[in-house]
Structure 1
Amino acid sequence: MGFDMPRVCLAFLAFALALAGCAGPRAVPPPLAAAFDEPYVLATGDRLRINVFGQPNLSNSYTVEADGRIAMPLVGRYEVVNKTPDQVRTGLEAKLKTGFLRDPNVSVEIEGYRPFYILGEVNNAGQYPYVVGMTAQNAVAIASGFSPRAVKDRVELTRRHGDRVYKAEVPLTYPVRPGDTITVNERWF
């Protein structure tokens, strides 16, 4: 009685896949971890509250438009995408100082964040409003929980930072940022 090589290989492959499915969440790879911890930068869909001290006509809410700019009186179309709120504040003060105001004092706050997205094995995949302090587990709860076939101890997180896109498998306790895409994978067994 000899070995049936195709059957042995198939059985070994099925066993290896079963073991891989039992593996716990892996740590975020070191090069990606640094990118995931970068300071928050603005992108399309964020809403800013800009206050110019002593200038009520300039103080208002501004939405980052599709071209990455806001439209502000005296300043015109000002690019804010890929900048931190503090960088926007500094830039607006410099713009207003050149001929409009002697010593502008500007504050920039994020009034509303762009949404996050959740896909895959959840009950209600889609786009949802971001909540400050959110984790991947909170995002799953917002999407009405896991479907019966979901991998329930980790998710795949995709984050855009500048012109680069980072993707990593993360534990459910990992923090989510506005604009992130969370994918809940399907388990095989």
Structure 2
Amino acid sequence: MMTAKHVFGTLLAALVVMLTGCSGLPSSGDMPPVSTLEPEPYEIGVGDTISIHVWRDPELSQSIVVRPDGFISMPLMGDVKAEGKEPEALASEIGTALSEYIRTPEVTVMVTSPASKEFRNRIRITGQVAQPQSVAYQPGMTVLDVVLIAGGVTDFAAEDRAVLHRQIDGKYQSFSLDLEAVLEDGDMQTNHPLQPGDVISVPRKALFRGEL
């Protein structure tokens, strides 16, 4: 005759097996490759420093940081929306507006400090790592690189249940990672190359999974 303790143990074991086999996430082996598409034209963003040069009119030329509201201030023109525009488009808009005050203005706009791009191109790692990080993307960077930058995983990390979140067609999709295989067995199958915007999360070990 089974006691209540035995019944509970049997149910707990069945639950562990079920949860282990049904993570619900696709393997990162099914993850699409890092994008090899040509980069899109650069759009000015908040925090960018841009240099505006008006030929033969140094008083109108300036170097300015795009404000948090996405605008810059120009002599004669007042506030001008810069966020979301390509440098050539902004130069054309400024030139058209200045033509009311000076004859045939020639305007060039250059992004001298692309702060917004650097922020968008960062990679994040969160959860059970020594130092959760937001790091600047570097070409060739892999999952292992970011884990090492974060100081490795903690003793409470469920390494085989790590997840890589990647933005695909404008939406984040999640893929399973096996950091235990990478770190302890040298199995590089899930040591994937990363791309800007990727997020790696390392969950904590769970008692109901039999990990503690």
Please confirm whether the aligned pair reaches a TM-score higher than 0.5, indicating the same fold: yes
Map 1:92-107 to 2 at 5 A: 92-107=94-109
Distance in 2 (CA, whole Å) between partners of 1:58 and 1:87 is 18
* Further displaced range: 142-151 or 49-58: 142-151
- 3-state DSSP of counterpart to 2:68: coil
Does residue 140 of the first structure (1) align with residue 156 of the second (2)?
no
**More moved, 104-113 vs 73-82:** 104-113
What is the one-letter code of the residue matched to 1:27? Answer: M
**Equivalent of residue 156 in structure 1, options 141, 165, 175:** 165
Task: State the distance in 2 between where 1:134 and 1:127 align.
Answer: 17
The Cα of 1:71 is off from its aligned counterpart by 1.2
The CA deviation at 1:106 is 1.5
TM-score, structure 1 normalization? 0.62
Q: Deviations over 1:90-128 (max 9, x none)?
A: 222222223334232313224231334735145444566
Distance 1:90 1:10 in 2: 64
Give per-residue Cα distances to partners, 1:132-164, cap 9 Å, x unaligned. 8585769937954543436798632469xxxxx
1:24 to 2:28 alignment: yes
Q: CA deviation digits over 1:65-105, x for unaligned, max 9? A: 11110112223211011222222222222222233342323
CA distance in 2, matches of 1:136, 1:91: 41
Q: Distance in 2 between matches of 1:77 and 1:41?
A: 18
Larger radius of gyration: 2
Match for 1:184 among 200, 206, 211? 200
Structure number with higher helix proportion? 2
Structure 2 match to 1:53: 55
Gaps of 5+ in 2: 176-190, 206-210
* 1:132–1:94 CA distance, 2 compared to 1 (3 A): farther
CA–CA distance in 2 between the matches of 1:142 and 1:97?
Answer: 55
What's the CA shift for 1:61? 1.9
In structure 2, relative to structure 1, the CA distance for the partners of 1:55 and 1:83 (3 Å cut) is same
In the alignment, the residues of structure 2 paired with residue 25 and residue 103 of structure 1 have an alpha-carbon distance, to the nearest angstrom, of 55
From 87, 90, 93, the equivalent of 2:92 is 90
Task: Report if the CA contact (8 A) 1:72-1:78 is conserved.
Answer: yes
* Partner residue of 1:118 out of 114, 119, 124: 124
| Cα distance, 1:76–1:46 mapped onto 2, change above 3 Å | same
Give the Å deviation of 1:25: 4.9
Q: Deviations over 1:32-54 (max 9, x none)?
A: x7xxx644322222221222222
User: What is the alpha-carbon root mean square deviation over aligned residues?
Assistant: 4.5
1:173 maps onto 2:182 in alignment: no
Quick one: structure 1 residues 118 and 18, their matched pair in 2 at CA, closer, same or farther if it must change by over 3 Å? Answer: closer
Percent identity reads 16
Gap regions ≥5 residues in structure 1: 160-164
TM-score calculated relative to the size of structure 2: 0.57
1:14 pairs with 2:23: no
C-alpha contact 1:85 1:109 (8 A) present in aligned 2? yes
